Amino acid sequence: MLIDIHTHVQQFNKEDLDLLIHNSKIANVEIIIAAGTTISDSEKSILLSKKYEEIYAAVGIHPQNILDENTNNYLEKLTKLIEHPKTIMISEIGIDIQKESPELSLQKDFFYNQILIAEEYNLPIAFHVRNGEKEALEIIKSANIKNIKSVAHYFLGNYDYAKRLLNENVYISVAKPFLRDEELSEVIKKLPLDQIVIETDSYPQYFKKNRQRWTEPKDLLLIIEKLSKLKNTDPEYITEQIEKNSKNILDL
């Protein structure tokens, strides 16, 4: 079975989601994690997890979305969402340094505090990093991330950064960019298979007119195929190993 460890399927409308679920079943994707980006988006993930057996919820506040809605008492709000039986992860959290991103000190606070809440409830995390590898590593270390299972979502870094993450027992999550990016493929090739997981980061791509071309959990098959070529190993073996890693992280 395949497990999509990071998506935003709660953001699809009903019709598109039903097609996505249908396609996922054909592709043997049996577990899909719907990661929230705000408190209300996390609530949507939980709602969806109640309706669809294969969907599980991740709750969290994305660094870019910190100012999207009132975040007073966000840790209390998250604590309530964690109580739901299908909430199995804290995500999407992290560091995102771009011109229009919220102030870095605020991002650091949110990232650190959400790691601590994951530790308190013994939940795994999946974190996002854009242009802030150094900052993210500092927080990861100071929050003792080794106390929990963790995933570097949508990994695009170099080998040195990957090694630093592996040293903190972080799993590296491989997404579709490595299908085309040779440099990234070379990095992934060197990583131990027992610290790799896979994801699609699926969200509705209205900018792509052809609905067939939207990224969906079924595309995990393409990632498995490429990993199998890179590692010169059977796709079945890769699938089994990644299933084991993902279940270990999610405690399933």
Residues that bind Zn ion (CB under 5 A): 92, 201
Choice between 35 and 145, CB closer to Zn ion: 35
The minimum distance between CB 240 and Zn ion, in angstroms, equals: 26
Beta strands in 84-238 (DSSP E): 87-96, 125-130, 150-152, 170-174, 196-198
State how far the Cα of 183 lies from the Cα of 233, in Å rounded to an integer: 20
- Closer residue to Zn ion, CB minimum distance, 10 or 24: 10
**Toward Zn ion, which CB reaches closer, 132 or 241?**
132
Residue whose Cβ sits closest to Zn ion: 201
Minimum Å gap between C-beta 62 and Zn ion is 7
User: Closest separation between CB of residue 126 and Zn ion, Å?
Assistant: 8
In whole angstroms, the minimum distance from the beta carbon of 234 to Zn ion comes to 30
Closest separation between CB of residue 92 and Zn ion, Å?
5
Is residue 95 within 8 Å of residue 139, measured between CB atoms? yes
The vertex-220 CA angle with 134 and 167, nearest 5°, equals 30
Closer of 60 and 241 to Zn ion (Cβ): 60
Q: Which C-beta is closer to Zn ion: that of 202 or that of 241?
A: 202
Q: Beta strands of 47-176 (E only): which ranges?
A: 55-59, 87-96, 125-130, 150-152, 170-174
Which backbone phi and psi does 202 adopt, to 5 degrees?
-55, 135
Q: CB of 32 within 8 A of CB of 219?
A: no
Angle, alpha carbons 78-79-82 (nearest 5°)? 85
